[in-house]
Amino acid sequence: VANWLCKSCHIMSVGFIGAGQLAHALVKGFTAAGVIATHRITASSPDTDLPTVLGLRKMGVNLTTSNKETVNKSDVLFLAVKPHIIPFVLDEIGPDIEDRHLIVSCAAGVTISSIEKKLLQYRSAPKVMRCMTNTPVVVKEGATVYATGTHAEVEDGKLLEQLMASVGFCTEVEEDLIDAVTGLSGSGPAYAFTALDALADGGVKMGLPRRLAVRLGAQALLGAAKMLLESEQHPGQLKDNVCSPGGATIHALHFLESGGFRSLLINAVEASCIRTRELQYLADQERISPAAIKKTTLDKVLQQPGVTVGGVANGNSKSGLSLFNNRGSGLKKKN
Amino acid sequence: MSVGFIGAGQLAHALVKGFTAAGVIATHRITASSPDTDLPTVLGLRKMGVNLTTSNKETVNKSDVLFLAVKPHIIPFVLDEIGPDIEDRHLIVSCAAGVTISSIEKKLLQYRSAPKVMRCMTNTPVVVKEGATVYATGTHAEVEDGKLLEQLMASVGFCTEVEEDLIDAVTGLSGSGPAYAFTALDALADGGVKMGLPRRLAVRLGAQALLGAAKMLLESEQHPGQLKDNVCSPGGATIHALHFLESGGFRSLLINAVEASCIRTRELQYLADQERISPAAIKKTTLDKVLQQPGVTVDHFKLLYL
C-alpha cells in the first residue's frame, strides 16, 4: 500500500468515532484506493456485534469500544455517528483533543459552529471540518463536499480533499450548501436503488430473467451518468439524442412525463434537504426527539458519563418542533 | 479484420468512438456509408479517421463485420441493395430495434445460401465504454462469429448473448434506459438548484450519485432493496425523501416506461415484417431519399392507416 497520506513527513493515522455504514464504506474505499494502510485506522463503537464492525475488523482496522483510544491514535478524526449522538461524543472526547487533530464531522445537519462551540470549552483553536459524502465511496465513486471551519488551515482542507478524492468526486463548498447536497447526492443513491429495483421489475414484466434485468438496468444508468459527466452537453440534449422519431424511447418518456416523474425527484431532493435542516435544528437545541432514536440507542446514550435524563425531551414529541408545522409549499402530497 | 457501418448516425458514431477508445480496431479499418454527408455524426466520424462514403456497396466490399446501423424501416431497402454484394466472409450484425433475424435472413437468402446474421441491441453509453449490449445468433452464424461480436461489444461495456425473443424487452430496459436516466438527472439537478446549489455542481453531484449507486449494485450480491435499506437511517433525511417517491408512484412510472418502449419496439417489428411504412414513422426527407434508391418503387409503400 502506497501510504502517501502525510503531512510534514508524518504519516497520518485516521480514526472513526462510530463503526457503522459510513465508517465501513469509507474504510473500504480508502483501502481499495491505497491511500492508507488499515493498521493506521482505528474505529470505535459501543456495539461490537454490528455487521459493519465485523467487516472493519476483517479489513484489519483496529477496533475498540473506547472513543478516547480512537482519538489518541488518530490525526484525522471522522465523526461518523448519528447527528443526535454528536453532542455527547464531543463532550466525551473534548478533553483529549490535541493541536494535531483534524475533526471531520460527517453528520447530516450538524453545523461547524455547533461543533466548534462544544470543543472551545476544551481547546482554543479546534480544527473542524464538515463533510457530506455518500455510500458509493465504497466502490470509489462517492460524491463528497466539505466546508472548512474557523481554525482549519488551507492544508487541512487539501488533506481531506486528498482522502475523499481517492474515493470519488470531492469539492469544497460554502457550509450553507451542505443541506442541499445531502438532499441530492447524500440521499441520491437511495433514489437510484429504488429506480433500479423498479426498472428490473419492468424488465421482468416484459420477459427478462431477474439477474439480467438488474444487470442491464444498472449498466444503463451507470453508462448514462458517465456520459453526462464526460459531456459538455445538457442532459436534455443527451436525452434528445437518444429519442429517434416515433421510436420506442420517446413513447416510454411520455409515460414518465405523464406521471410527473421529474417532479417526484425534485420533491425527494427537497424533502431530504428540509429534513436535514430539521435535524440540524434539533441538534442545535441539544434535544433528542423520541421519534428519532431507537430505544436501544437511547439507553446507550443515557449510559454515557455526563448525560442525565434532564437532557432528553419528555412528553409531547412535538416540543421544540413548532417551527416545522408549516412545511414548504412544494411538499403537498398529490391526491 | 475490417468493420463497416451502413448508416453513419448516432449509433455508428457512438460505437466507433467506443471501439477506438478501447483500442480494439484502428479507424482506418472502419468504413461508414450515409446518403447525408452533412450530419454532425458524419463529420465526427470523418474527424476520427473513418472512411466515409455515400455508397453502401463500397462499405460492404471493404468490411468483414458489417453493422446495419440504420432506422428499422430502412433495413429492407438496404438489404435489397447490398444483398448481391454479400460474400461468405461477411458477418451481418443488425442493430435495428424490432427487426428480426428471420426477416433479415429471408431477404438475404435470395442472394446467398447461408448468410451469417446476428442481431444486437446496444445503447449509446458505448461511447464512454459503458454500454449494455445483448446479441442473438442467426441460423448460419457460427459460435466463433458470436465470440467475435462479443469481443467487440465487450470492449465498450457489458455484453451477453440472449435468446432473440428477449431483445424487445432489453430495448425497453437498457436500450431506452439512458433516456430515463437523463430525464432523472435533469430533474435531480433542478431539485438541487431549487435548494440552493449552483447548476453545474447540482448536475455533477446528481450524476455522480447515480453512477456510484449503479456501480455499487453491479459490484454487490445484495438486492437493490437491501442497498436502499442500508442508506436509510431511522428518521433520517433519506427515508423522508423516499416517501415522496413512493407516494407519487415513482416505481410504477419506470415500469410503465420499460413496458411502453418494449411494446413500441414490437409494433415497429410488426410494421417492418409487413414491409409497410407508417407515415408517422418516417420523416419526409428520409422517405424521399429512400425513393431515390435503385430498385425501390412506390409499390413498396402500401401505407397502413392505423
User: B95: annotated binding-site residue?
Assistant: yes
User: B187: annotated binding-site residue?
Assistant: no
In chain B, residues with a C-beta closer than 8 Å to the C-beta of A235 are: 182-183, 185-186, 189, 203
Q: Which fold has domain B174-230?
A: ProC C-terminal domain-like fold (1.10.3730)
Q: Where are the alpha helices (DSSP H) in B160-249?
A: 167-170, 177-194, 199-218, 224-230, 237-247
Query: Are A105 and A158 spatial neighbours (Cβ–Cβ below 8 Å)?
Result: no
CB contact under 8 A, A273 and B237: yes
DSSP β-bridge partners for residue B4:
B31, B66
- Residue A285 predicted with pLDDT over 80: no
CB contact under 8 A, B128 and A227: yes
User: B11: annotated binding-site residue?
Assistant: yes
Q: Which residues contact B282 (CB under 8 A, 6 or more apart)?
A: B73, B290
Task: Give the tens place of pLDDT for each residue, A53-79.
Answer: 999 999 999 999 999 999 999 999 999
Beta strand segments in B14-61, E:
30-33, 51-53
Size of interface A-B (CB pairs under 8 A): 450
Average pLDDT for residues A307-329, to the nearest whole number?
A: 38
The shortest CB-CB distance from A223 to any of B157, B249, B253 is to: B157
User: B151: annotated binding-site residue?
Assistant: no
Distance, in Å, from the CA atom of B232 to the CA atom of B302, rounded to the nearest integer, reads 57
Dihedral Cα A176, A179, A181, A184, nearest 10 deg: -150
Average pLDDT for residues A93-116, to the nearest whole number?
A: 93
pLDDT of residue A320: 32
The three grid cell numbers given for residue A287, joined into one nine-digit string: 434535544
Write out chain B's pLDDT in tens, 306 residues: 999 999 999 889 999 999 999 999 999 999 999 998 888 899 999 999 999 999 999 999 999 999 999 988 889 899 999 999 999 999 999 998 888 999 999 999 999 999 999 999 999 999 999 999 999 999 999 999 999 999 999 999 999 999 999 999 999 999 999 999 999 999 999 999 999 999 999 999 999 999 999 999 999 989 999 999 999 988 889 999 999 999 999 999 999 999 999 999 998 888 777 765 554 444 443 445 555 555 555 444 433 322
Query: Are B170 and A245 spatial neighbours (Cβ–Cβ below 8 Å)?
Result: no
Burial degree of B271 (CB within 10 A; 0-12, 13-18, 19+):
buried
**How close, in Å, is residue B203 to chain A by CA atoms?**
8
In chain B, residues with a C-beta closer than 8 Å to the C-beta of A224 are: 125, 177-178, 181-182, 185, 210
User: Rounded to the nearest 5°, which phi and psi values hold at A128?
Assistant: -120, 140
With CA atoms as reference, the chain A residue closest to B228 would be A190
Q: Which fold has domain B1-166?
A: Rossmann fold (3.40.50)
CB contact under 8 A, B218 and A213: no
Q: What sign has the CA pseudo-torsion B218, B221, B224, B227?
A: negative
Distance, in Å, from the CA atom of A66 to the CA atom of A216, rounded to the nearest integer, reads 45
The three grid cell numbers given for residue A257, joined into one nine-digit string: 412525463
Task: Give the tens place of pLDDT for each residue, B91-135.
Answer: 999 998 888 999 999 999 999 999 999 999 999 999 999 999 999
pLDDT of residue A300: 53
CB contact under 8 A, A136 and B211: yes
With CA atoms as reference, the chain A residue closest to B123 would be A220
Distance, in Å, from the CA atom of B177 to the CA atom of A218, rounded to the nearest integer, reads 9
Beta strand segments in chain B, E:
3-6, 30-33, 51-53, 65-68, 91-94, 116-121, 131-137, 157-161
The structural domains of chain B, with segments of one domain joined by +, span 1-166, 174-230
Distance, in Å, from the CA atom of A225 to the CA atom of B91, rounded to the nearest integer, reads 32
In chain B, residues with a C-beta closer than 8 Å to the C-beta of A108 are: 236-237
Beta pairing, strands A127-132 & A142-148: antiparallel
Average pLDDT for residues A222-230, to the nearest whole number?
A: 98
Pairwise pLDDT comparison (A262 vs A318), residue with the higher score: A262
Q: What proportion of chain A, given as a percentage, has pLDDT over 90? A: 71
The shortest CB-CB distance from A252 to any of B128, B172, B223 is to: B172
**How close, in Å, is residue A106 to chain B by CA atoms?**
14
CB contact under 8 A, A229 and B235: no
Cβ atoms < 10 Å from Cβ of A206 = 23
With CA atoms as reference, the chain B residue closest to A240 would be B179
Q: DSSP code of A99? A: T
In chain A, residues with a C-beta closer than 8 Å to the C-beta of B128 are: 223, 226-227, 230
- What's the whole-model pTM score? 0.85
CB contact under 8 A, A271 and B180: no
**How close, in Å, is residue B276 to chain A by CA atoms?**
15
Distance, in Å, from the CA atom of B195 to the CA atom of B209, rounded to the nearest integer, reads 17
Distance, in Å, from the CA atom of B120 to the CA atom of B5, rounded to the nearest integer, reads 14
CB contact under 8 A, B184 and A330: no
CB contact under 8 A, B207 and A198: no
- Residue A167 predicted with pLDDT over 70: yes
With CA atoms as reference, the chain A residue closest to B181 would be A221
Average pLDDT for residues A122-150, to the nearest whole number?
A: 96
pLDDT band at A184 (very low <50, low <70, confident <90, very high): very high
